[in-house]
Amino acid sequence: MKNPPSRLVDSNLTTRSGKASGKVSGVLITFVSSGLLMLILLVFALQLRPDALLETSRQTVRIYCAAGIAKPVEDIVTAYNSRYGTDVEIVRTGGSGELAGQIKTEYETGLLGGADIYITADDRLLDKAYQAGVIAERFPVAEQRPVIAVPVSSEIPIAGLSEMLSNPEVKFGIASERAAVGKLVRGVASNLGILDQLEEQKATDAENVMTLAQALVAGSLDAAVIWDTTVSQLNQIGPEPILKIAALVDARDETKSEIALGIVSTTKSPTASLQFARFLTANQTGQPAFESYGFSFLAGDDWEQVPEIHLYCGSMFTPVIETAVREFATREGVNLYPRWEGCGKLVAAMRSIEDENLFPDAYLACDESFLLQVQEYFYDPVEVSRNEIVLAVSKTAPSSVESPFALTNSNLRIGICDPEYSALGFLTREILSGGTAAVGNPADVAPATESLYQSIERQAVVKADVGPTLISQLVAGGLDAAFVYRSNLAADPRTLQAVNVYSLTNDSTVGVATQPWAISKSTRNPALMQRLYNWLDRAEIKSEFKANGFLDPGMN
């Protein structure tokens, strides 16, 4: 990778330098210079999004936070408000299940002034809320383990859950099923066959771990099932530890809880909420607070108040996702620069970049063959859609055409895409070079010394970079026939009225391009790019793909 293109200039444009001939008046120079200066200032203004930043600093962000996680979250909230003059606050704490129930009620009743952010000790609750549409975005935060805790002075031997139950003199408490730790301990007890005994012998089932921890400190309980992180937090209050861990609830250490953050879908402050969520989950700003309280932090993105994101997309996607990409950038409050071009040009651009910070954060390719050319720079891809390559023939063409073979030795004006610069051109060449097995029975066979593709390429009057160029010339009457994606035709209903469309094959494995999405290994924002993928994976965007002639993965 070398010589990356400037990120302040439209990546589809190039500049040329040379000596100017003649004399230019000082007035003209001043005028042009002033105009360029204003343009540069406008570009910077658009990139920095000052209005968006001003809005986020004025918006209140309300957090519902699981009680056992409140300490590190409070520290991060204080640091964030101090640094940016924002108004983020924890307005409610409690058991994860209790808070999830409250947020669901707010969502279903349309209650205003509720939660903007939900931080749970049980990511399964968050996933459930996400599937129900209550949560719009998810962020993994940290991990913790359920343990059996006792006062630091306790000498009662407790080696595990079964041992605690076998001693009838141990007065212990567990959390209710509405709390994440309560669900986990019951799951372990069920697997051990001691759930009924656990329920019968418990002295209490408090709503959250902090209530149990306080009972331990007060001496009203001998033991309690709480989080390892709760023990760590309480031991930091005074000069000496007050609790200790007697045993893990799960002796195999396979039972853990993932702390997660969710943006409530009904929030009135999505951008401000997402910005704080990125701050809380960033390595530099969130990790120290969580680890200081004993949490195992899950690495997030690097912290930037306004991240700069570069997305490379094949030109076929422009009519389908351009609006959604802009909506995502606005919602997240980030600078997102999409580059829409033929995949051959995009691959060539990637190979010319030296600075990994200028490399695209994600790539949505027109076909997997082009991603394979740069696969070493990306994580494993996800298949997004499929797109059929077809022959489009103008209804005003001077002769009848129903297959590519009828184009050979004809006087028709043919358009193809360049196989070096576009996936469409590359795949057209592959299909037509495959002979009759790829395109059906020939009506007019090309010379034996020349492949079907070579014959059509020789007769082509236009070799474009992208399919829309061929479509526009078909509709304008400049071409009689062209090889395009079905999505190119569906992008404008008028096109379908002006052309006849012929499939190149009945075999779904030939003549169909596969579109993969891949996140760059060098991106500083992998979580953000995953959220962008999730944003584009929504039902309404899938409907746009279908409406534009794309096929779902696996569809024929």
Percent of the chain with pLDDT over 90: 57
Those residues whose C-beta lies under 8 Å from the C-beta of residue 528, and which sit 6 or more positions away, are 278, 301, 307, 309, 332, 334, 361
Question: CB atoms < 10 A from the CB of 332, how many?
Answer: 25
User: Nearest-5° angle of CA 509, CA 510, CA 514?
Assistant: 65
Those residues whose C-beta lies under 8 Å from the C-beta of residue 202, and which sit 6 or more positions away, are 172, 173, 174
Ramachandran quadrant class, 518 (left: phi over 0; alpha: psi -120 to 50; beta: rest): beta
Instruction: Check if the beta carbon of residue 294 is closer than 8 Å to that of residue 228.
Output: yes
Fold agreement (1-6+309-556, 146-248)? yes
Q: Is the pLDDT of residue 224 over 80?
A: yes
180 pLDDT band, cuts 50/70/90, is: confident
Top-confidence residue, 10 or 128: 128
Query: Mean pLDDT over residues 268-274, rounded?
Result: 96
pLDDT of 55 reads 53
pLDDT of 466 reads 87
pLDDT in tens, 516-533: 999 999 999 999 999 999
Cα 505 from Cα 50, distance rounded (Å): 52
542 pLDDT band, cuts 50/70/90, is: very high
Task: Provide the 8-state DSSP code for 551.
Answer: B
Query: Mean pLDDT over residues 214-230, rounded?
Result: 93
pLDDT of 39 reads 45
pLDDT of 553 reads 67
pLDDT of 3 reads 39
pLDDT of 360 reads 97
Burial class of residue 530, CB neighbours in 10 A (0-12, 13-18, 19+):
middle
Of 165, 142, 302, 127, which Cα lies nearest the Cα of 233?
142
pLDDT in tens, 290-309: 999 989 999 899 999 999 99
Instruction: Check if the beta carbon of residue 509 is closer than 8 Å to that of residue 388.
Output: no
Percent of the chain with pLDDT over 70: 85
What is the number of residues in the chain? 556
Instruction: Check if the beta carbon of residue 67 is closer than 8 Å to that of residue 208.
Output: yes
Burial string for 169-191 (b: 16+ CB within 10 Å, else e) reads ebebbbbbebbbbbbbbbebbee
CATH superfamily of 146-248: Periplasmic binding protein-like II (3.40.190.10)
Of 248, 243, 261, 75, which Cα lies nearest the Cα of 148?
248
pLDDT in tens, 343-352: 989 999 999 9
Query: Mean pLDDT over residues 253-282, rounded?
Result: 95
151 pLDDT band, cuts 50/70/90, is: very high
506 pLDDT band, cuts 50/70/90, is: low
pLDDT in tens, 413-464: 999 999 888 888 888 998 888 744 344 444 444 444 568 899 999 989 999 9
pLDDT in tens, 43-64: 443 443 444 454 555 689 999 9
Those residues whose C-beta lies under 8 Å from the C-beta of residue 102, and which sit 6 or more positions away, are 64, 92, 114, 115
pLDDT of 139 reads 97
180-192 vs 96-109: helix crossing angle, rounded to 10: 120
Query: Mean pLDDT over residues 470-497, rounded?
Result: 87
129 pLDDT band, cuts 50/70/90, is: very high
Top-confidence residue, 277 or 39: 277
Q: Is the pLDDT of residue 175 over 80?
A: yes
On average, the pLDDT of the chain sits at 84
CATH class of 1-6+309-556: alpha beta
Task: Provide the 8-state DSSP code for 198.
Answer: H
The reported pTM is 0.78
Top-confidence residue, 6 or 331: 331
**Architecture (CATH level 2) of domain 54-142+257-297:** 3-Layer(aba) Sandwich (3.40)
Those residues whose C-beta lies under 8 Å from the C-beta of residue 36, and which sit 6 or more positions away, are none
95 pLDDT band, cuts 50/70/90, is: confident
Q: Is the pLDDT of residue 366 over 60?
A: yes
CA atoms within 13 A of residue 245's CA, in its CB half-sphere:
17
Domain ranges of the chain: 1-6+309-556, 54-142+257-297, 146-248
